[in-house]
Amino acid sequence: MPTRDLIVVGASAGGVEALRSFVAGLPADLDAAIAVVLHLPAGGTSALAGILGRSGSLPAVTASDGMALQRGRVHVAPPDHHLLVVDGSARLSHGPTENGHRPAVDALFRSAATAHGAGVIGVVLSGALDDGTAGMLTIAGRGGLTVVQDPEDALYDGMPTSVLRHLDVDHVVPSAKIGALLRDCVGLRVDVGGEPSELARRESAIAATTGGVRSDEVIPLGRPSNFSCPDCDGNLVELTLAEPDGVPKRFRCQVGHAWTAEALLQAQGAALEKAVWTALRTLEEKAGLARRMRGDASARGADMLVRRFQRTEEEAAQAADVLRRHLLSGTFAHPADEVGEEFVT
């Protein structure tokens, strides 16, 4: 019988404070390995391992490819790499982003559940949107333990609330109390649990891919959605292959980028906002050019051209005013910045 000796933790917006509180509560003799993903910008380096190492009694390191996941140590995903679990070791990959993130919480959770089954404890901390929900459902489906930060304790309650909306989790506690809870859960022998789903196996393989994903690896996972991927403009497939009950609607494009419906909606809003700002700038430039051409025509005494350019200027200026009011109305407000830039150096 396996024992619970692998803890996987996911966080995003507001995750630094939650992670510091979490590791501060972990006992020094915790007999389990810990793997952590916090959504990070792709560029630069992360100081997260140093921050977490100073916040608690357990040593923390930035994970490297092939590193053994040691009990009593916190292993942190580096920027721009998925952290995956393969045969008790850390695997780093440059696989397709999930919800625009690499590392991604769901990629870690899915790989851990696939490789370690019921011996996994999944922990979701502060974050916006619904990252981590699909991964937690995969962990639960294999008999693993599920723990969620109390939404009232989180700076951003989107991720914890989404898990609670889709799954009857085992424990909901403030981040500072999760360590004491895990002390009593780690090391317990558990049933082997069910086999990982075919979809979990295939998605774990996609996340581990570094040489690119073929369309014939993605198309069989679902059906065409008629939506486009915000990352590459490719066609998105709605995943339908043996999804666990309760998983929120998810998509993958034909080169592997993954999106939940909620994250896709936010990304579409961001793309639309960018397009509207571009249109506003173009209209203002058009009005400015027409104004200059009107002045030149006036100097030459070309009254017909003066009237034409004046109409063009007025039409462009009026359209620009409409777009400006729309942009300032807050229509494109986003729930949160989903990366922890405060500790990227």
Determine the angle formed by the axes of helices 105-116 and 198-208, rounding to 10 degrees: 120
Q: Which of 185, 216, 246 is the last residue of a domain?
A: 185
Beta carbons within 10 angstroms of residue 250's beta carbon: 28
Residue 272 lies in a domain: yes
CB 32 within 8 Å of CB 186: yes
How distant, in Å, are the alpha carbons of 267, 271, 290 from that of 276? 14, 9, 21
Structurally, the chain folds into a number of domains equal to 2
Residue 255 lies in a domain: no
Query: pTM (2 decimals)?
Result: 0.86
Residue 131 catalytic?
Answer: yes
Q: Which of 185, 208, 243 is the last residue of a domain?
A: 185
Catalytic residue among 5, 106, 130, 131: 131
What one-letter code names the amino acid at 159?
M
Residue 12 catalytic?
Answer: yes
Q: Which of 159, 185, 211 is the last residue of a domain?
A: 185
Angle at 87 between CA 85 and CA 93, to 5 degrees: 40
Q: Are residues 20 and 164 in the same domain?
A: yes
Name the pairing type of β-strands 222-228 and 171-173.
unpaired
Name the pairing type of β-strands 258-260 and 250-253.
antiparallel
**Local confidence pLDDT in tens for the 345 residues of the chain:** 679 999 999 999 999 999 999 999 999 999 999 999 999 887 767 899 999 999 999 999 999 999 999 999 999 999 999 999 998 899 999 999 999 999 999 999 999 999 999 999 999 999 999 999 999 999 999 999 999 999 999 999 999 999 999 999 999 999 999 999 999 999 988 887 778 889 999 999 999 997 778 888 999 999 999 999 999 999 999 998 765 556 778 999 999 999 999 999 999 988 888 899 999 999 999 999 999 999 999 999 999 999 999 999 999 999 999 999 888 887 666 655 455 544 443
- Cα(214)–Cα(197) distance, rounded to whole angstroms? 21
List, as own/partner pairs, every contact residues 325-331 make where C-beta atoms lie below 8 angstroms and the sequence separation is at least 24, other chains included. 326/276, 327/273, 327/276, 327/277, 327/280
Catalytic residue among 5, 21, 39, 166: 39
Tell which residue, 335, 18, 306, 339, has the closest CA to residue 148.
18
Catalytic residue among 5, 12, 46, 93: 12
What is the domain range of residue 298? 263-328
